[in-house]
Structure 1
Amino acid sequence: MGIHVIKMPDIGEGIAEVELVLWRVQPGDTVTEDQILADVMTDKATIEIPSPVAGTVLALGGKAGEVMAVGSELIRIEVAGTGNADASNATIPARPAAPPAAAAPTAPAEPARAPAPVGTATARAVPAARPAGEKPIASPALRRRAWDMGIELQYVPGSGAAGRILQQDLDAYAARGAGPYAIGNNAMRYQQRDDEEALPVIGLRRKIAQKMQESKRRIPHFTYVEEVDMTELEALRTRLNERWGSERVRLTVLPFLMRAMVLAVREFPQINARFDDDAGIVTRFGAVHIGIATQTGAGLVVPVLRHAEAHDLWSSAAEVTRLAEAARSGKATREELSGSTITVTSLGALGGIVSTPVINHPEVAIVGVNRMVLRPMIRAGTVVPRQMMNLSSSFDHRVVDGMHAAEFIQALRGYLECPATLFME
């Protein structure tokens, strides 16, 4: 028997170190060739590390959340034969991670309030499915579902990789009626809880935290809010979808807004820019590369629609759909997640009335979309129902004056309230 040492692979593009996000194996596990050993993360991309050999895991080279240098020892595997004692051929190729791997380590904790408890009083004696101190691995969606069901994930056995809890595990657990709580026991609904769960901020969640902190630290934000009458645009969007919806991708508000942004930055080129505050240089771009803030199971990422100025409504809609799917599945490439010159963000139906979006550094502006609502408005002295929506947008006050920011948003408002002007050059 011999020992095969696998080193942290060179991901490329000059990357000297990566973050170890998740181990898929543990010492003592038997692994096969090409089996995934661990997930690591670069700036935004999560990469799976496969095993080039079959054998038994002897030791792990780091802990989840640890930043490791390229070329450092990742794992030791006992193999048949002589192995590679000098580890000279131990560096292995990496490949983009599968979606579940990216989501697991960054799953948020369940809310701190007590769940609607279920079960009998004696049900609290049910033993935990994992040792004390070991945190359950599950996606954010599954954690939320378990919360809604009043089930403690600590008690749910996981059948996925590294003990990951899958949807079928939660369903099977609920079907058995197992758990520390059971349905219908009102006496336990207000029972005091003293449990805590400390979750390391690692992987994509760490990258998001660092990015947000950097943006707020370096950029003096100011936010400008304006309401927009979307009635005419919504009527046009409905008619276009009725006419072309079965043949083309369905249109949302976003492609119209992106077209309005393309036209508006022609009048205000200082908005479509990046500010290198270290060098003291503002670069204005003719190309409009729009970042689309997208919520995924692993956190917020910003895929980029490149050359929005060259897209019509339907090609914009198709590309936005493709990018969102790639981001949510963890398959977006590094190029698709970088290079934006201005960003748009929206919480959809959860958009609220007003928001204060954080600028995507080193850009100088971000356009935020709030919820659309039907409200009574006065038009020509008559109260009429209108579809109203707020734009909450933030700007870098170092390079964008307040007046120019307001004029830019008013230009957006003009295009959106009279959508025919979106197609007039």
Structure 2
Amino acid sequence: MVERTFELPDLGEGIAEGELVSWLVAAGDTVEEDQVIAEVETDKALVEIPSPYDGSVTRLHHDEGEIVPVDAVIATFEVEGDEEAATERDSSNTSADAESSPGETVADAADTDAAATGTPADAAADAGPGESPVPSGRVFASPSTRALARELGVDIGAVEGSGPGGRVTGADVRAHAQGAETPEGEESTAGAATASAAAADTATTTTDSEAAAAVGNGTAEAVEQRGSGSGAAAERDRTLAMPATRQLAADLGVDLNAVPASEEREGEPFVTPDDVRAFAAEGSDGASGAASGVAGATTTEEAKSATEPVTAADERAAAEASDEGAAAGDLADRPGERVPYRGVRRTIGEQMAASKYTAPHVSHHDEFDATDLVELQSELAAAAEDEGVKLTYLPFVVKAITTALAEFPYLNASLDESAEEIVLHEEYNVGIAVATDAGLMVPVVKHADEKGLKQLAEEIRDLAERARNRQIKPEEMQGGTFTITNIGVIGGEFSSPIINHPEAAIFAMGPIKKRPWVVDDEVVARNTMRFSMSVDHRLVDGADAARFSNRVKELLAEPSRLLLE
């Protein structure tokens, strides 16, 4: 029997960490390969983590509720077989790393195996008081860190780890590659590249040769500042950030790898939305940031004031920063329960802020006589119920929306700011906003225009149920081109919904109920539906939004037309 460790796997593009919601096993339990052992919440969804082994659990390294970085060891297993067989199995589990690095040697594989048999805590226990744990024959590093070392031509065994228990992080590998220990008077390739980049970015009169000399002569302050991301433009091969932050950077035309990171996660730079906005407000050309890292350079503010006039946006950003600072200071000592701002709730907040910050919203409100819709829905719902299908008003609205979108393609569009192009989507993928205990989720009905009322009803019910049970897959909430939200089921007449960026529009259904309505110059009680819609004014004018709204009203006021679609 041998012990094998298991690291939290990659949970998706740009996801750096997850909250360990629950363990489904305990130490001593016997597990089978692919058996779900834990549930981890990311900013997208609740993800089930399967066991990679047949064996027994000997240790769980994290408690429920902890935030666990990707690649951190979460469990240790005892599996049958000898050391050689276990090593071979590990090699097959990390075949992706091996395939991406054909130059990996047998020594590398042995090194990986040795690292996997211990934990950072073991190394920490071996270290004396006040000493940094130094691996002796073992190197603790994640597969991605090892891959980075191979890419940079770094002997990972020669890198001193700064992580817990002497764990080698990506930042340690990059620092080593940049020539932190280059002999005096000798400049490494990485050092020369850094010097060249620093010289190219600087906004002062410092020449390329002076910048290179500053680094080559051991002036490490500029290099350190660039690498740490505090006050200087960074040049990184990998940056950790939430998907909403990456989207914000793309919307603002900002290179995420050039944004100074205010945080670190497992030794890696972690960029927040505030970092991106601050960088964009400073000009995002990297010149002022690089200047602050070279001896004799001006500060960011001095470089900015010397080359650019103060704009309204600058004043607004400064005012917001001041207000935020005052608010933070005011809240620091305020009593009250404090709930962590993370997971789905934080993702919703970042996505909504990015949408309002990026897209100029225009809202449109309207109402129509829904008498015929109520009658048709009641008639068809009874027939659908005999087949086990619950038919609500929502499928009718989806059909009306997709029909109208075909006639008004700019409401089924997105703006590709980097290419300066409007993308008119060929697919009609309708997102359905669902309220869950964890927050708002938007599963997507793909190719909604190709489906009938009964099929739409079944698919919407299934997606909504799995979203509420946290069983929805991340890919089932991606690829939307238009979103519908139903405020009528909770209460309220109208709203000003926030667009699910980068979509162009969102439609909010209000309640259907009896209201005064004029028919043949007489006021009578009729079933009417009120609805609201928000559009991205960069893509859709108010007149087009009104015409689209009118077409939706026509189709829903005479819903028998939808049966012909």
**TM > 0.5:** yes
Contact conserved, 2:362 with 2:536, CA < 8 A, in 1?
yes
* Aligned mates of 1:62, 1:316 — CA distance in 2: 38
Q: Aligned equivalents of 1:63 and 1:243: distance in 2?
A: 47
Partner of 1:106: none
Other-structure match for 1:269: 409
Residues 62, 417 of structure 1: CA spacing in aligned structure 2 closer, same or farther, 3 A cutoff? Answer: closer
1:325 maps to which of 427, 448, 465: 465
Q: C-alpha separation between the residues in 2 aligned to 1:318 and 1:281?
A: 36
Q: Deviations over 1:12-38 (max 9, x none)?
A: x65563323435399xx6342338664
**Residue correspondence of structure 1 range 7-26 to structure 2 within 5 A:** 7-11=7-11, 14=13, 17-22=16-21, 24=23
Contact 2:368 2:529 in 1 (8 A): yes
* Structure 2 residue corresponding to 1:399, chosen from 539, 547, 557: 539
- The yes-or-no answer on 1:74 pairing with 2:214 is no
Q: Tell me how far apart the structure 1 counterparts of residues 61 and 37 of structure 2 sit (CA, whole Å).
A: 12
For residues 407 and 24 of structure 2, what CA distance do their matches in structure 1 show?
56
Instruction: Say if 1:351 and 1:369, in contact at 8 Å, map to a contact too.
Output: no
Select 2:30's aligned residue among 33, 40, 50: 33
Question: Which residue identity lines up with residue 86 of structure 1 in the other structure?
Answer: A
Displacement after TM superposition at 1:65 (Å): 3.6
Q: Tell me, what secondary structure is at the counterpart of 2:340?
A: coil
- CA 1:59 to 1:327, structure 2 compared with 1: closer, same or farther past 3 Å? closer
Please point out which of 440, 448, 453 is paired with 1:300.
440
1:64 corresponds in structure 2 to 66
- Tell me the CA shift for residue 241 of structure 1: 2.1
The DSSP-based 3-state class of the residue aligned with 1:376 is strand
Counterpart position of 2:360: 220
User: Take 2:495 and 2:15, find their aligned partners in 1: how far apart are those partners?
Assistant: 37
- Residue 116 (structure 2) aligned to one of 73, 87, 97: 87
Listed as ranges, the matches of 1:232-247 within 5 Å are 232-247=372-387
Q: Secondary structure at the match of 2:492?
A: coil
Question: Which residue in the other structure is 1:54 paired with?
Answer: 56
- SS for the counterpart of 1:217 is helix
* Residue 261 of structure 2 is aligned to residue 259 of structure 1: no
Q: 1:196 Cα shift?
A: 3.2
Deviation at 1:85, TM superposition (A): 5.1
Partner of 1:190: none
The correspondence of residues 8-407 of structure 1 with structure 2, limited to 5 A, is 8-11=8-11, 14=13, 17-22=16-21, 24=23, 30-34=27-31, 38-50=38-50, 52=53, 53-57=55-59, 59-60=61-62, 64-65=66-67, 68-69=69-70, 71-75=71-75, 86-87=115-116, 196-247=336-387, 249-407=389-547
* Cα deviation code 1:358-392 (max 9, x no counterpart): 11111010000112221122211222211112111
Following superposition, the deviation at residue 248 of structure 1 comes to 5.2
Q: What is the letter of the counterpart of residue 54 of structure 1?
A: S
Are 2:23 and 2:64, in contact at CA under 8 Å, matched by a contact in 1?
A: no
Tell me: CA distance 1:89–1:332, structure 2 relative to 1, closer, same or farther (3 Å): farther
C-alpha displacement at 1:305, in angstroms? 0.9
Distance 2:380 2:60 in 1: 61
Number of aligned positions between the proteins: 319
User: How many angstroms apart in 2 are the aligned matches of 1:278 and 1:374?
Assistant: 48
Alignment CA distance shift 1:89-1:361 (3 Å):
farther
Contact 1:57 1:78 (8 Å CA) reproduced:
no
Cα 1:245–1:24 shift into 2, 3 Å: closer
In structure 1, list runs of 5 or more residues that go unmatched. 93-193
Q: Supply the distance in 2 between the matched residues of 1:341 and 1:291 (Cα, whole angstroms).
A: 7
1:410 to 550, 555, 559: 550
Counterpart CA distance in 1 for 2:495 and 2:504 is: 17
Cα deviation, 1:59-101, whole Å, max 9, x if unaligned, reads: 43997245x13x3333457999999752179999xxxxxxxxx
AA matched with 2:40 = V
Residue 293 of structure 1 contacts residue 303 of structure 1 at CA under 8 Å; is this kept in 2? yes
**Could you say which structure has the greater relative contact order, defined with CA pairs below 8 angstroms and 6 or more residues apart?**
1
Alpha-carbon distance, 1:39 to partner = 3.1
More helix, by proportion: 2
> Residue 180 of structure 1 aligns with which residue?
none
Contact 1:289-1:308 at 8 Å conserved across structures: yes
Partner SS state of residue 480, structure 2: coil
Q: CA deviation at 1:298?
A: 1.9
Which residue of the partner structure matches residue 100 of structure 1?
A: none
Larger of the two Rg values belongs to structure? 2
Segment of structure 1 superposing worse, 293-302 or 277-286: 277-286
Name the structure where strand makes up a greater proportion of residues: 1
Q: CA RMSD in A?
A: 3.3
* In 1: Cα distance, 2:361 partner to 2:511 partner: 22
Q: CA deviation at 1:199?
A: 1.0
What is the match of residue 131 of structure 2? none
Distance (whole Å) between structure 1 residues aligned to residue 60 and residue 390 of structure 2? 53
Query: 1:345 touches 1:368 (CA, 8 Å); kept in 2?
Result: yes
Deviation at 1:276, TM superposition (A): 2.2
Structure 1 residue runs of 4 or more that deviate by more than 4 Å after TM superposition? 1-4, 13-16, 35-38, 50-53, 75-85, 88-92
Amino-acid identity (%): 35
Distance 1:306 1:89, change over 3 A: farther
User: For the residues of structure 2 that align with 1:62 and 1:250, how far apart are their CA atoms?
Assistant: 38
Letter matched to residue 23 of structure 2 = R
Given residue 59 of structure 2, which amino acid in structure 1 is its aligned partner? V
CA deviations 1:130-185 (Å, max 9, x no partner) are xxxxxxxxxxxxxxxxxxxxxxxxxxxxxxxxxxxxxxxxxxxxxxxxxxxxxxxx
- The code of the aligned residue for 1:202 comes to R
Q: Helix, strand or coil for the counterpart of 1:349? A: coil
Corresponding residue SS for 1:332: coil
SS at match of 2:512: strand
Distance verdict in 2 for CA 1:31–1:410, change over 3 Å? farther
The letter of the residue matching 2:73 is E
Counterpart Cα distance in 2 of 1:248 and 1:78: 48
What code does the residue aligned with 2:116 have? A
Alpha-carbon distance change, 286 to 55 in structure 1, aligned in 2, over 3 angstroms: closer
TM-score under structure 2 length normalisation: 0.51
